[in-house]
Amino acid sequence: MDAPLPDLSNLHPVGGKRSSKRDRILNLFLRQEGHLSADDLFDLVRRVDPGIGRATVYRTLQWMVEAGIARKVDFGEGRSRFEPAYRHPRHFHLICTKCHQSSEFLSSDVESLMEEVAASRGFTAAQAVVQIYGTCDDCRTGHKSPPVDGATTKLVFARDALRMAIATERSGLEFYTRAATLAGDSRGRSMFKRLAEEEGHHLSQLEQRYRDLAAKDPHLETRPTFLFFKGAANGLFDAGAERLRHGVNDEQALLIGIKCERGSHQFFKRYGERFEESEGRQVFLEFADEERAHLNLLMKEYRSLRQRQGRRRTRKGVGAAKLTH
Amino acid sequence: MDAPLPDLSNLHPVGGKRSSKRDRILNLFLRQEGHLSADDLFDLVRRVDPGIGRATVYRTLQWMVEAGIARKVDFGEGRSRFEPAYRHPRHFHLICTKCHQSSEFLSSDVESLMEEVAASRGFTAAQAVVQIYGTCDDCRTGHKSPPVDGATTKLVFARDALRMAIATERSGLEFYTRAATLAGDSRGRSMFKRLAEEEGHHLSQLEQRYRDLAAKDPHLETRPTFLFFKGAANGLFDAGAERLRHGVNDEQALLIGIKCERGSHQFFKRYGERFEESEGRQVFLEFADEERAHLNLLMKEYRSLRQRQGRRRTRKGVGAAKLTH
DNA sequence: CTAGGTGCAAATAATTTGCAGAGGC
DNA sequence: GCCTCTGCAAATTATTTGCACCTAG
């Protein structure tokens, strides 16, 4: 649903056209934080290269939007603003109608709801815009909270990513600990135990990393959430752990684990890939890898179990074809 | 989060200003379906009253937006469009970038997510805009689906409302049927049975109503969803019915029922009230009333149970104060 | 050489504003 | 009589276009 992610070096041919001054405009634009109006960008460009005309900036902007490098956003000021879309996933806006400041957030839940809606209408979504207009905290209370620069945004992003990974790790730990207790088969028990230990180990690593991050900014913990990944932020294994309570056999436990690991792997990979280089992205992608490793282990165990059982019945959803990655 | 709902008759003073020609513009505007550009409205107005100037239309539009009667939306065409906001809750847009058609949907889930986000930042939300840009089904396939007029929209809305009420009724029926089986106390059993019968009765009424509605338009059932009230559309009692499986005592069952009925009453009331007069609105509000009646019955039973138990312990969440409506 | 890209200035389009007069209270 | 509304035309603002020229492949 979001923009394609062409390599920066061969970005230019994307639109089918060539480049020269576009490079300079593009580079300046991508370096910018926040939402530039066409004129803002024109001023910036002129400062560097006075020989560039306003029309070129407009044309380049138009081309960038078509090529998916930029996004056009409208805050109802009577002019458009533009923001980089490259490795910078769709984010949503909270726009203060008093002070005209806008802050951003990201929500995978909103995104998936929108995808669902679009799909149900046969609509192919290319872009999504979410804007909430109202009064910001500062304008309402009269206080002024410290300005948030690019570095802080990145810290907050990393913090939120870590929080999600930690929540997932915690619910995974609970899941495997319980599964190890319940497992009827000694081999399965030892595998679940091993996984529980791994989760515990990773968990403490993540927590350490979280503490390191928090040390970089004394206010980090109290800053508002940036990633509203509600469905994921509360532990992707919770439902699985819950199902274990109702008593399942080893095979079922394995299948539940596989489903959870696969879901969480896909989730972290999918979103991680869409971010620009940053610690948050790292957290997502590393975590996705970890979940995949667990997934592989579980699937190996599952195959082996099936073999030992000697049964050849086919189970829906996890056929042999799907097991090979 | 949505616009205030002033009475139409004393709408005018809302903005602190007075009225005269505004009335005519306002009335024309409110009669319109869809999204008018300022110029569209100007043309319309001129056809009725050639003595009205373009600036007045602009000024009136501005005033309507401030007063919460209209919403300004931007589809990236270089000009703004406006839509009535009165008794017409925020709806979201799917905008085709090929044919420039836009269709609408409503999602309570998206709304509550947005409220959550706003609240967590101390942001007071007044308006929300959700736009999904892409290619519509017609443009993608080349086919042309039958045009949807205002009457059809209303039918679809009523259909979706009925579907939600039916789903809730079904899960309620399941809940009470199961509760009746499980109830240890004969008095409780008969109450749950009675509620189950009522739900069954209402369910068949709703299903009949649904059939009547479907008879009005042969394609009604296949038309795309308009209300994406995912959390509610799958039966608000499902979680409650599920909990009954794990074995609960009568008091707990009552509390679960109370929670479910209260939630569903509030949900249907809250959203029903925001719609303009229509069958869909009726469905919502009637259903809300019904759920409240059940709620009252359950609460009466709960109080009586507590009295019979003679226990005076306080349970969190459902203190005596909260029981009196 | 050719298909675009580019600068400049002029054109267009949407919206706002200045001002004199009108209308309600 | 005062305050706001209103129409008209002029002004302002953002964005696009026409056109002559330039540049990369």
B91-120 pLDDT tens trace: 899 988 777 788 889 999 999 999 999 999
When divided into structural domains, chain A yields a total of 3
Q: Is residue B321 part of a domain?
A: no
Same domain, B300 and B219: yes
Same domain, A128 and A241: no
Distance from CA of A20 to the nearest CA of B (A): 28
Decide if A125 and B136 are in contact by the 8 Å CB cutoff: no
Same domain, B160 and B97: no
Q: Is residue B96 part of a domain?
A: yes
Of the candidates A129, A225, A230, the beta carbon closest to that of B131 is on: A129
Mutate to test the interface with B, among A79, A99, A114, A148 (most CBs of B within 10 A): A114
Q: Is residue A2 part of a domain?
A: no
Query: Mean pLDDT over residues A300-304, rounded?
Result: 92
Same domain, A102 and A74: no
Domain span at A46: 19-86
Query: Mean pLDDT over residues A257-276, rounded?
Result: 94
Query: Mean pLDDT over residues A31-36, rounded?
Result: 86
Amino acid A264 CA to nucleotide D21 C1' distance, rounded Å: 57
Same domain, B203 and B303: yes
- pLDDT value for A321: 45
Count Cβ–Cβ pairs < 8 Å, chain A vs chain B: 144
| CB A255 within 8 Å of CB A318 | yes
Q: Is the pLDDT of residue A73 over 70?
A: yes
Q: Is residue B8 part of a domain?
A: no
- pLDDT value for B87: 66
* Boundary (domain end) residue, out of A102, A117, A145: A145
Token look-up 């062409």 returns: A6
Same domain, B135 and B206: no
User: Can you state the angle between helices A38-48 and A54-67, rounded to 10 degrees?
Assistant: 120
Q: Is residue B98 part of a domain?
A: yes
Which CATH number characterizes residue B261's domain? 1.20.1260.10
Token look-up 């207009």 returns: A133
Same domain, A155 and A272: yes
* Higher pLDDT pick, B286 / B314: B286
| CB B192 within 8 Å of CB B294 | no
Q: Is the pLDDT of residue B321 over 70?
A: no
B79 touches strand C (CB under 7 A): yes
Decide if A224 and B124 are in contact by the 8 Å CB cutoff: no
- pLDDT value for B263: 96
Q: Is residue B105 part of a domain?
A: yes
Q: Is residue B292 part of a domain?
A: yes
* Boundary (domain end) residue, out of A98, A123, A145: A145
- A134-153 residues touching B, CB cutoff 8 A: 134-137, 140-141
Q: Is residue B325 part of a domain?
A: no
A120 contact B CB<8A: yes
B123 contact A CB<8A: yes
Amino acid B24 CA to nucleotide C13 C1' distance, rounded Å: 26
Distance from CA of A14 to the nearest CA of B (A): 19
What's chain A's average pLDDT? 86
Same domain, B129 and B169: no
| pLDDT tens figures, B1-33 | 544 444 454 454 444 444 578 888 998 998 888
- pLDDT value for A246: 80
A21: enclosing H helix or E strand: helix A21-31
List, in sequence order, the alpha helices (H) in chain A. 21-31, 38-48, 54-67, 108-120, 137-141, 150-182, 186-216, 230-233, 238-245, 250-274, 279-309, 320-323
Same domain, B171 and B81: no
B113 contact A CB<8A: yes
* Boundary (domain end) residue, out of B43, B69, B86: B86
pTM of the model: 0.82
| pLDDT tens figures, B49-78 | 888 999 999 999 999 988 888 989 888 888
Amino acid B84 CA to nucleotide C25 C1' distance, rounded Å: 30
Q: To the nearest whole percent, how much of chain B has pLDDT over 70?
A: 89
| CB A162 within 8 Å of CB A279 | no
Which CATH number characterizes residue A25's domain? 1.10.10.10
Same domain, B24 and B92: no
Same domain, A188 and A282: yes
Band (pLDDT 50/70/90 cuts) for residue B323 is very low
- pLDDT value for A215: 96
- Chain C: positions less than 7 Å from a protein CB are 4-9, 13-18, 23-25
- pLDDT value for A17: 47
A97 contact B CB<8A: yes
- pLDDT value for B10: 46
Q: State which of A15-29, A285-299, B126-140, B219-233 shows the largest mean pLDDT.
A: A285-299
Same domain, A79 and A213: no
